[in-house]
Structure formats: structure tokens, C-alpha cells
Structure 1
Amino acid sequence: MAARADIDRIERLATGQDGVVTRAQLIACGATPDWISRQVTRKRWTRLFPGVYLTHTGRPRWRSTARAALLYAGRGAALSHTSAAFHHNLVDSPGAMIHVSVPHERRIRHQPGLLIRYRRHIPQAWGRLRATGPIETVLDLIDLPTTTEDEAVSLLCRAVQRNFRSEQILDQADRLPRLRHRRLLRELLSAVDLGVESALEYRYHRIERRHGLPRSTLQSREALDGTWLRADCRYARLGVRVELDGQLAHPYGRTDADVWRDNAVTVLARELTLRYRWRHVTVTPCLVARQVAIALRSRGWAGMPRPCGPACAVASLGEHRQE
């Protein structure tokens, strides 16, 4: 059995490691293999990975599991990809697996809940809970073939909101000899610089570009009726606004605040508000372009939208014009 002084050392060690200790650390503190086994069999501790223990029972916090994964992976290991993104508050969910990058020459036995990535060049990593840096993590995720365009937009928006400039991200990307979505990265960062703050806004920005619509001002703010209001997209000179309601923000349609804002815009600013949701923008983008074009032309826009293909809904506007 470990002496009392050794138990105190173990408790201090666990406190500094999110409640997690390794078998080697315990033995260095004077614990015996039998004593360690008894902590688990008597349900005082929980074994998270081989040779890595949580010094209490109950469901472990994510940070404790991540710490255990790093201790299990050993020398040179760092949280990366989704785990690093969650650690840096770039994504809202850590996912089901702990992602850890290790030097390519090492080999680690597979464990449930742990995804090991062997890499010749691990990006710069640091911190008490060692993880790849925020920009490096964003580039890692964008480089994955499974990352969707919408997910890439969300990542870049979160990074920019955390005061990482587009130039910093591009500079880091230019140092990578291989980056799967380099062209997409530049396109997305250009959109973010224009004011895009979500994947839905990026999709609407793309609708404008593909259909030759005027470019709206994104995230326009003004004071109306004593309240600061913000429009997702605004064609100020034409008196038209477009509000984009994401499923997470407005799961049941317009909120009371939205209704009050739309009424203020109509009464005081005399502007027309069009409102679209995910399904409109993603499933029927050409119909959205057509309706926006009709609204803009009703307010004085002299241009015509450009069909994006033979079956594009905006083509009928040109036919009506010819008649």
C-alpha cells in the first residue's frame, strides 16, 4: 500500500492533470501494482485507457478524457482536428472521438474512443492541455475530405470572430506544401472579409454572385425607433433587406423580435424585408434569386439577373421583359 505522504502526492498530481494519472506516475509516487488495481476494482477510480486512470468515479469530463488520451499517446502527442477545435472554442461539439496527432515514427495500440493520426510534420502545439494552435487546427479541418463547404465557412467565421485576420490564415496556409481546398479557402476568406458570418450567409452571397444580382451590404446596422437593428443583407439604395433565418437561431420561424424589427423597417424605413430559411437558400436558390430580383426591380433596379443554367428560374424574367 502507498504511504500517506505518497497519496498526498498522487492527489496533487491528479489535481494538476484534470483528475488523471498514469501508472508510471503512480509507481514513481510509491504505489504498488496491487494497490493501483484495488482502486479500480473497488470502484474508487476509473480506467480511461491502458495505464491511465481517473481518480474518481462517475462520468469523466471531456477535458479529463482528452488529458488521458494525451498521457496514453505519450511523447510528442497533441490534440488536433475536432478535439483541438473544441478546445479552442471553434466548434460547439467535441464529437465522439478524441483526435490526437503523434509523430509518424511512433505506433500506438488502437483504443475505443481514440483516433490517432500519424504525421511527419505536426503543426505547432502548446498549452497545459497540449493542442495544435487555432489557425493550424482550422487548416487541418479544412484539409479533410469529409469537411463540407458549410463547415469550412463556420470554422473560418469563428476564427475571424476570435480576431484572427484573414492574412494570418492565408500566410499559414501558404507554408503548407499540400492543402486540399486551398482555392476554396481563399474564396471563403474573401467572403468573410465582406462580412459573411455564417454558412447560410455565404450561400446567399453565392446566389447573388451566380445570378448577377447587386451585391448587398452584409450585417448593416442602424438605429430605428430607439433601437439598434441589424440586417443580414441590405440593398440600401433600393430599400430592400434580406433576413436569413438559420434553423438553430429560429427553429420555429420568426421570433417576436423579428416581427417587431420587420414592422419597424416597413413603417419607419419604408423598406421591404424578404426572409429566407435554410431550405429556401439551399434547395431553391434560383427561386430565391428570382424573388429578390423582382423585389429589387420593383424598387428601381434597372438590371436583370443572370440565369445560372438552362433550367434556372430567373430565365423567365428575361422572357417577360422581351414581351
Structure 2
Amino acid sequence: DQALALGISDDAIRHRISREGRWQRVLPGLYATFRGELSAQDRCRAAVLYAGADAQLTGPTALRQFRVRYLPQDDGSVHVLVAHATSRQDCGFVAFTRTTRLPRPWWRDGLPWTPVARAAVETCRDMRELRAVRALMAEVVQRKLAGVRQLEHELAAGESAGSALPRRALEDVGRGCRSAPECELRDLLRTSRFLPEPLWNATVLDDDGRFVGVPDGWWPAIRLALEVNSREHHLYGDSWERTMDRQARFAAAGILVIPLFPGRIRRDGPALLREIESAYLRLQPTAGLHDPGAVTRAGPRVEPPGS
């Protein structure tokens, strides 16, 4: 339509997209006025133009704007959220998700994008492995791209199809787990016949009110902490050296830390659970003696604006 409005005839368009011409056909009715590979931005712009009014980029396409790491393998698709009544069908690299609940988009580089919480839920609905869904949900929350309440709202408001894994993952994240290995550790601890659920990622202070750390799992009454140690796990906002420093602070505060590795949680869970149970029983306070424990203070949940 733009080409015709500029006075370019159908014959001229056909010539320009021929071998001798300088244009290329991108999608039905859409042409690039250059030869060569389209950039990611070009593809997104073409997808929105093809989809029509009210379309917005969603799913993994939107999450890549924030460099979210734990996404499905990129198959080249551009994911677009459109109104349910849209007559357009998937075509080429454009993949449609239809909805009766179009959110208010946010804009970047002249393109409309769905809010992060919506994009994350749309992505997770198409994933088939719980561990991958947990990793994505945990990353989005840990990096404060979206809050737990926002994700819960999107899940509750959407269709039930494809929601089982996201709901389970979000229940873990809502409890405080901040990585897929922590979620797997929670699964393991819940198989115990007597262990209570620890506090997850709670702020721990010593008896004088000084900051000690934020262990992955924490039983304050017996001063027992669990730490999942992996470079991948501590990719965001932490480092291996700081992990070691934190464990030294735990030791100085009289807190026993059990270091855990993701591979062992998956590979040798029953034996690992027995070790945790043994430590828990050994640290139980003697009857009649006061156990001061350590102060635990849960941090506030952060909800980023505009999602």
C-alpha cells in the first residue's frame, strides 16, 4: 500500500523484486528496498506491519530485548500477539498468538512490545521441560524484570492450556527459590518424612544485628543453611569469590552451611537428603536449653513499574 501510494505501479514492484531489481519480498505485501539478510530489527518491524493494527511483539522475541538467558532455542520465529479476531495466519517467520486480552504495550525503537510478565508466561506455555520453565521464571524474578504477583496475575487471567508447568515453577519462585537448582532442591526436601520447609533466600543477621548473608535455604532455629554452589547459579549479582566470603561469615556467626552442587541434587538426591536430615537432627537444640538462633529478616518483594 505504501508503494502504491507513492505512485509505484504493480509492474514496477514486480521488476524491483526480480533478479535484476534491488528489492526483496519479505512477507505477503511487504518488501525490503535492499538486498541481503534482514536484521532482527527488520524482521520484527516486518512482522508487526504484516500483523496489522494492535499487534505487539511477545514471547521469546520480547524477552530477547532484555537479554534473558534461559530461553528456548531460537528458531528464527518472530512471535506476535494479536487480537483473537485477526484474520491473518502464520506466515514465513511470523508466529501468531491470539488473545482476547491485549495488554498495553511498551515501545522501543518504534515497535510495540508486550510487558515482560506477559511475554514470560506466553513463552513458558510453549515449553515442555519443568527445569527450563523454572530457570526462565527464576531469572525473570531474580533480575527484577517482573514480579511474582505480576506473573501470577498473567497465569490466572490466561487460558489453562499450557499452564501446568508455569504454575508449578511460579509456586517455587513464590516461595523464594531463585534458580532451577533451588527448585529441584525444594522438590528433594519435600520428600523427607520430617524436614520442615526451610526459608528460601531469607536475609540472615547475626545476634548483634549485623548482616551475614542470604542462604538459599535456611532453618533459623538450628542455624543450618543450604547453599547451592555453581558459577551458573550465581551469574546474576554474585560471584564465586563473594560466595566464599559469605560462607566465611556464616562460619564466624556459628552457622553450619551445607554446600550443594546442582549435578548432585539431580544425580544423587536420596544420599544428599540423608546427609541434610542427619545434620538437621544433630543440630536440634537440647531439651530445656535456650537456642538464640539467628535473626531472619525477609526482604521486600520488588515489583518493577510498568509491567
Is the aligned partner of 1:141 residue 2:129?
Answer: no
Q: Secondary structure at the match of 1:178?
A: coil
Tell me how far apart the structure 1 counterparts of residues 70 and 166 of structure 2 sit (CA, whole Å): 21
Q: Which moved further from structure 2: 27-36 or 230-239?
A: 27-36
Is 1:264 the equivalent of 2:249?
yes
1:148-171 Cα shifts (integer Å, max 9, x gaps):
2223334443554335342x5444
The answer to which structure has the higher helix fraction is: 1
> Looking at both structures, which has the greater relative contact order when contacts are Cα pairs under 8 Å and sequence separation is at least 6?
2
- Answering whether residue 180 of structure 2 is matched by residue 203 of structure 1, we say no
Q: Could you say which residue in structure 1 is the equivalent of 2:195?
A: 213
Corresponding residue number in structure 2 for 1:240? 224
Partner in structure 1 of residue 87 of structure 2: 106
> What SS class does the counterpart of residue 210 from structure 1 fall into?
coil
Give the superposition deviation at 1:292. 0.9
- Shift of residue 64, structure 1, vs aligned partner: 2.8
- Mean Cα displacement is larger for which, 27-36 or 70-79? 27-36
Shift of the 56–276 alpha-carbon distance from structure 1 to 2, 3 Å rule, reads: farther
Trace 1:108-187 onto structure 2 (pairs within 5 A): 108=89, 110-111=91-92, 113-117=93-97, 119=98, 121=100, 123-124=102-103, 126-128=105-107, 129-144=111-126, 146-158=127-139, 160=141, 161-166=144-149, 168-176=150-158, 178-182=160-164, 185-187=166-168
Q: Which residue of 1 aligns with 2:282?
A: 298
Instruction: State the 1:80 CA deviation.
Output: 3.0
Matched, 1:273 2:242: no
In 1, are the aligned partners of 2:116 and 2:146 still within 8 Å (CA)?
Answer: no
* Structure 2 unpaired stretches of 5+: 287-307
Residues 172 and 120 of structure 1: CA distance in aligned 2, closer, same or farther (over 3 Å): closer
Per-residue CA deviation, residues 30-82 of structure 1 (Å, 9 max, x unaligned), is 45664896599689776544543456677644233211122123345432332
1:28 partnered with 2:5: yes
The one-letter code of the counterpart of 2:215 is A
Q: CA deviation at 1:92?
A: 5.4
* Structure 2 residue 61 is the aligned partner of structure 1 residue 83: yes
Indicate the structure (1 or 2) with the bigger Cα radius of gyration: 1
Counterpart-to-counterpart distance in 1, 2:20 and 2:231: 47
Q: Which stretch of structure 1 is more off in the superposition, 37-46 or 200-209?
A: 37-46
**Structure 2 CA distance, aligned partners of 1:191 and 1:85?**
21
TM-score (norm 2): 0.68
**Which residue identity lines up with residue 197 of structure 1 in the other structure?**
R
Pairwise CA RMSD of aligned residues? 3.9
Q: Could you tell me which residue of structure 1 aligns to residue 295 of structure 2?
A: none
Number of equivalenced pairs = 270
Sequence identity of aligned pairs in percent?
19
User: What is the TM-score normalised by the length of structure 1?
Assistant: 0.65
Aligned-residue offset at 1:130:
2.9
Alignment of 1:38-53 (within 5 A): 48-53=26-31
SS of the counterpart of 2:202? strand
Q: Which runs of 5+ in 1 are unaligned?
A: 1-23, 303-323
